[in-house]
Amino acid sequence: RLRQNARLVAKKAGLLEKPCAKCGYNKYVEICHIKSIKDFEDTDLICDINNINNLIQLCPNCHWELDNGGGQTQTDTSFDTIL
């Protein structure tokens, strides 16, 4: 339900029509949480977790990189410019 709500928020903001914020791929994007869901407290509201400022559109490859630490090394700070 949390992720469905995030998708609705992103759709209303037009993020689903935009290309990947990192690489520019424009065939398909996923809506991602910039601050991971697990980093929020249990008492935080869905509207705070799914705030448009915590959502970003990424292609599946860039989404995987974000979730798995890609682009977060000292030599590759490519996510730092978009987050």
Q: What pLDDT digit, counting tens, does each position of 16-35 carry?
A: 899 999 999 999 999 999 99
Q: What confidence score (pLDDT) does residue 81 get?
A: 65
Identify the CA nearest to 56 among candidates 34, 38, 28.
Answer: 34
For residue 73, what pLDDT is reported? 42
Tell me what pLDDT residue 71 has.
56
Q: What is the pLDDT of residue 1?
A: 80
pLDDT digits (tens, 9 = 90+) for 33-80: 999 899 999 999 999 999 999 999 999 999 999 888 865 544 455 566
Residue pair 59/20 in contact (Cβ under 8 Å)? The answer is yes
What is the Cα–Cα distance from 5 to 47, expressed in whole angstroms? Answer: 9
